[in-house]
């Protein structure tokens, strides 16, 4: 599916570590307001001499290397917004590896820049990398979830906001954001200092960019697009206030590795909120359960007790949940 971006390539929009070929997003998307970048509260100033221009400062970033988790060194304008990230180059001094924006998202997967190695993930991840599925996702696919008890994006957003009350004003990461259905709502509501929309699917991130551009280009002031694996989150330990994962846990190749990494990146008091489809609930007839087990196979559909157990095993506390048919929204806190 073609991406409806009209890319220009002005020379002043070049990342500072030009390791990869790329095309910049249309500069018209970046309104003058978007230049008021939001500085991540957890960004750490580096003890390095500043360059002459403020827009080419060198600093340690909130974003970290997916290999060693050391904060990346950013060369370029600060802030978690599309333009600042696009105009910056990122480098891990420990791994001597550079990362920069490909098209509209910053690729922080372990394999970013690999020339020969191509990894095929399980079906539940690969399916969503397809341009076709990514295009359909918000145009009918997601609406079907209502039949399994999902209350719908508006209600799910409200429910998540309730859980996130203690971390209002902090930095929120929407992991496995898909086409950014919730990332856009989190960015728009103004509750958070910054929102990172993160997904493994390049095409989902492109959809997120397109929807953002169409709906409200000013959202780009407060939104960053990052490609990463949920089990290898590109953030230093204890750096994130809020992590949301809508309709995603069942798609993860290893829910335990994913929740362990979510727990690693949450700061003390940070909150994780997720939704997923349950394999079955306590009210499901024992006759139907084997059928649900079989349907579940390509996905990691869990039962509620497993989700709670997993959160606890990863050191999260105060687990709570709301269940409606196969839908569950659960929340847990980093102590």
Ligand X SMILES: C[S@@+](CC[C@H](N)C(=O)[O-])C[C@H]1O[C@@H](n2cnc3c(N)ncnc32)[C@H](O)[C@@H]1O
CA 275 – CA 247 distance, rounded (Å): 5
Q: Residue 181, interface with ligand X (CB under 6 A)?
A: yes
Nearer to ligand X (CB atom), residue 10 or residue 140: 140
Q: Residue 131, interface with ligand X (CB under 6 A)?
A: no
Q: Residue 176, interface with ligand X (CB under 6 A)?
A: yes
Q: Which of residues 246-265 bind ligand X (CB under 6 A)?
A: 246-248, 251-253
Nearer to ligand X (CB atom), residue 35 or residue 121: 121
Residue given tokens 């609406």 in the structure block: 143
Q: Which segment (91-99, 176-184, 206-214, 298-306) binds ligand X by CB under 6 A?
A: 176-184
Q: Identify the residue among 61, 83, 202, 229 touching ligand X (CB under 6 A).
A: 229
Decide: 206 and 115 in contact? Cβ < 8 Å.
no
Q: Residue 276, interface with ligand X (CB under 6 A)?
A: no
Helix (H, G, I), strand (E, B) or coil at 22: coil
> How many of the other CB atoms lie within 10 Å of CB of 36?
11
Q: Which segment (7-15, 46-54, 194-202, 218-226) binds ligand X by CB under 6 A?
A: 194-202
CA 79 – CA 194 distance, rounded (Å): 9
Q: Residue 125, interface with ligand X (CB under 6 A)?
A: yes
| Cβ-proximal residues to 91 (8 Å cutoff; 6+ apart), any chain | 17, 72, 73, 75, 97, 98, 99
CA 155 – CA 312 distance, rounded (Å): 27
Q: Identify the residue among 38, 85, 173, 177 touching ligand X (CB under 6 A).
A: 177
Q: Residue 83, interface with ligand X (CB under 6 A)?
A: no
Q: Identify the residue among 99, 128, 135, 192 touching ligand X (CB under 6 A).
A: 128
Q: Strands, E, within 97-179: which ranges?
A: 97-99, 101-102, 105-107, 171-175
Interaction site with ligand X (CB under 6 A): 125, 128, 142, 176-178, 181-182, 199-201, 204, 229-230, 246-248, 251-253
């Amino acid at each position: 599916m073609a991406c409806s971006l009209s890319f220009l390539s002005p020379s002043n929009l070049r990342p500072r570590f030009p390791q990869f070929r790329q095309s910049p997003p249309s500069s018209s998307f970046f309104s003058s307001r978007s230049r008021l970048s939001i500085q991540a509260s957890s960004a750490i100033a580096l003890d390095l001499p500043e360059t002459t221009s403020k827009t080419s400062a060198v600093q340690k970033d909130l974003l970290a290397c997916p290999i060693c988790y050391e904060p990346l060194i950013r060369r370029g304008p600060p802030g978690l917004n599309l333009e600042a990230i696009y105009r910056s180059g990122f480098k891990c001094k420990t791994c001597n590896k550079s990362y920069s924006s490909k098209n509209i998202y910053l690729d922080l997967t372990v394999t970013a820049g690999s020339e020969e190695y191509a990894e095929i993930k399980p079906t539940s991840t690969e399916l969503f990398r397809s341009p076709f599925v990514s295009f359909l996702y918000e145009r009918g696919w997601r609406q079907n979830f209502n039949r399994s008890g999902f209350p719908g994006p508006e209600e799910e957003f409200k429910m998540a906001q309730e859980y996130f009350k203690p971390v209002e004003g902090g930095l929120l990461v929407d992991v496995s954001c898909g086409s950014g259905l919730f990332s856009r709502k989190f960015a728009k509501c103004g509750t958070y200092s910054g929102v990172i929309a993160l997904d493994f699917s390049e095409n989902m991130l492109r959809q997120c960019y397109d929807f953002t551009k169409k709906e409200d280009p000013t959202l780009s002031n407060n939104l960053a697009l990052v490609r990463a694996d949920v089990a290898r989150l590109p953030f230093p330990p204890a750096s994130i206030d809020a992590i949301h994962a809508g309709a995603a846990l069942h798609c993860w190749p290893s829910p335990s590795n994913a929740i362990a990494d979510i727990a690693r990146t949450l700061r003390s008091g940070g909150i994780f909120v997720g939704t997923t489809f349950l394999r079955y609930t306590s009210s499901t007839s024992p006759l139907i359960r084997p059928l649900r087990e079989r349907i579940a196979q390509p996905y990691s559909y869990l039962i509620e007790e497993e989700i709670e157990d997993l959160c606890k095993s990863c050191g999260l506390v105060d687990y709570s949940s709301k269940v409606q048919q196969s839908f569950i929204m659960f929340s847990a806190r980093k102590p």
